Structure 1
Amino acid sequence: MQDEILTRTVPPSKPVVTLSDVKLDLRVDHDFEDTLIQPLIQAATEYLEAPSGVLGKAFLTQTWKLSTRGPDSDCRIYIPVTPVQSIEAISYFDSDNVEQTLTISDFHLYGDENWAYLIPKDDIEWPELFDRLDALTITFKAGFGSSETDVPETIRQIVRLIVTHWYTNRSAVNLGTIATEIPMAAESLISLNRKGWVY
C-alpha cells in the first residue's frame, strides 16, 4: 500500500438519518432526550463510515485531501474513500520542491462505491515529484449525494438499528447477561454493504 495522508477538510452538512426518523423508531415523542439521541446518531455514523468505519464508505457529500508520495507501478493513485463524486484539485511538489498544479481534465477517474483510482489519460504522464510524503495531493468529493435520500436505504437502516439498540441498551451488560453490541439485523446489513477490496 502506498504511503498516504488522508484528511477530511469539509464534513457532511447534516446527519445521514434525521433525529425525527430515529425518534419515530424509538417511539419517543418528547424532546427531553434529544441531546442523548443526537450523539448516538453521530457515533453510529462514525462506526460505519469511511475511512476507518466498518463499511469503509462515505455517506453524504464531503471533501477530502489525499497526499501521497506518488502513483503506484501502474501509474495509478488509489483513492481510499468512496464513492468518489469528483476530483476538485491535483497539486504536487516538483523536483525543485516547488508546489505546482495539474489539469484535472488530463486524468481519468475510475471506480464505483467500492473502489476508485486516478490515472493519466493517453499521452499524459505524471510529473517528476520531489521525494516527500505529500509530494502529490488530490482534493476530492466523496459520498452518495448531498441528500440523505441519496444514501442507500440499507445503510441508513443500519444507522437507525444501531442507534435504537444503543439507546435501548445503555450498557454492555443487561440483566446479568452480556448484551450484543451490534444487533444481528444490523450485522447482516453491514455484511451486504461492506466495502470490497481495492488493491
Structure 2
Amino acid sequence: MQDEILKRTVKPSAPVVSLADVKLDLRVDHTFEDTLIQSLIDAAVQYLEAPSGVLGKAFITQVWEMSTRGPDDDCRIYLPVTPVQAIDAISYFDSDNVEQSLTVTDFHLYGDENWAYITPKNDVEWPDLFDRLDAITVTFTAGFGAAESFVPETIRQVVRLLVTHWYINRSAVDTGTIATEIPMAAQSLIAVNRKGWNY
C-alpha cells in the first residue's frame, strides 16, 4: 500500500439525507431536537463515509488532494476515496525539488465506485521525482453526484436506520459505543455497499 497524505479541500454542498426526511422517519414534528438529530445524521455519515468510514466511499460531490511518494511498480497511483468523478490537477516536485504541473489529459483514470487509479497514457512517462512523501499530488473530485438523489438508496437508508437507532437508543450515543450498536438491517446494507476490492 502506498504512503499517502490525504486532505479534503472542498466539502459536500448538500446532505446525504435531509433533516426533514429523518424527522419524518422519527415522527418528530417539533424543532427543539433539530440540533440533536442533525448531529446524529452527521455522525452516521462520518461513520460510513471515506476516508475512514466503514464504506470507504464519498457520497456527495467533494474535492480531495492526495500526495504520495510516487507511482507503484505498475506506474499506477491509486486514489483511496471513490467513486472518482474526475482528475482536476496533478503536480509534482522534480529532481531539483521544484514544484511542477502535469497535464491531466496525459493520464488515464480507471475505476468504479470501489477503486480508482491513474496511469500515464502510452506515450507518456512519469517524470523524475524528488524523494519526499508528497512528491506527487493528485487533486480529484469524488462522490456519486452533487445531490442526495445521486447517492444509492441503500446507502441513504443506512444513514436513516443508524440515526433512528441512535435516536431511540441514546445511551449508546452517550457512552460512545455507537460503533458497536448497529442494527442488523443496517449491517446488511453496509455489507452490500462495502468496498469489495482494495489495493
TM-score by length of structure 2 reads 0.95
State the SS of the aligned residue for 1:165: helix
Which residue of structure 2 lines up, in the alignment, with residue 67 of structure 1? 67
Which residue of structure 1 lines up, in the alignment, with residue 113 of structure 2? 113
Q: Deviations over 1:67-122 (max 9, x none)?
A: 00000000000000000000000000000000000000000000000000000001
Q: Contact 2:166–2:172 (CA<8 Å) still a contact in 1?
A: no
Which residue of structure 1 lines up, in the alignment, with residue 99 of structure 2? 99
**In structure 2, what residue type is equivalent to 1:56?**
G
Which residue of structure 1 lines up, in the alignment, with residue 58 of structure 2? 58
Q: Contact 2:76–2:117 (CA<8 Å) still a contact in 1?
A: yes
Q: How much has 1:14 moved relative to structure 2?
A: 2.2
CA RMSD of aligned residues (A): 1.0
State the SS of the aligned residue for 2:171: coil
Which residue of structure 1 lines up, in the alignment, with residue 130 of structure 2? 130
**In structure 2, what residue type is equivalent to 1:45?**
V
Identity of aligned residues (%): 79
Structure 1 stretch displaced more, 93-102 or 11-20: 11-20
**In structure 2, what residue type is equivalent to 1:42?**
D
**In structure 2, what residue type is equivalent to 1:194?**
R
Q: How much has 1:197 moved relative to structure 2?
A: 1.9
Q: Deviations over 1:140-196 (max 9, x none)?
A: 0000000100000000000000000000000139xxxxxx71111000000000012
Which residue of structure 2 lines up, in the alignment, with residue 81 of structure 1? 81
> Quick one: distance in 2 between partners of 1:35 and 1:172?
18
4+ aligned runs moved over 3 Å, structure 1: none
State the SS of the aligned residue for 1:171: helix
TM-score by length of structure 1 reads 0.95
State the SS of the aligned residue for 1:141: strand
> Quick one: distance in 1 between partners of 2:198 and 2:77?
11
> Quick one: distance in 2 between partners of 1:79 and 1:94?
21
Q: What 5-or-longer segments of structure 1 have no aligned partner? A: 174-179
State the SS of the aligned residue for 1:5: strand
> Quick one: distance in 1 between partners of 2:124 and 2:17?
43
Q: What 5-or-longer segments of structure 2 have no aligned partner? A: 174-179
**In structure 1, what residue type is equivalent to 2:107?**
F
> Which structure carries more helix by proportion?
2
Q: How much has 1:198 moved relative to structure 2?
A: 2.3
**Length, aligned pairs only:** 193
Which residue of structure 1 lines up, in the alignment, with residue 140 of structure 2? 140
> Quick one: distance in 1 between partners of 2:54 and 2:62?
18
Q: Contact 1:15–1:42 (CA<8 Å) still a contact in 2?
A: no
> Quick one: distance in 1 between partners of 2:110 and 2:94?
25
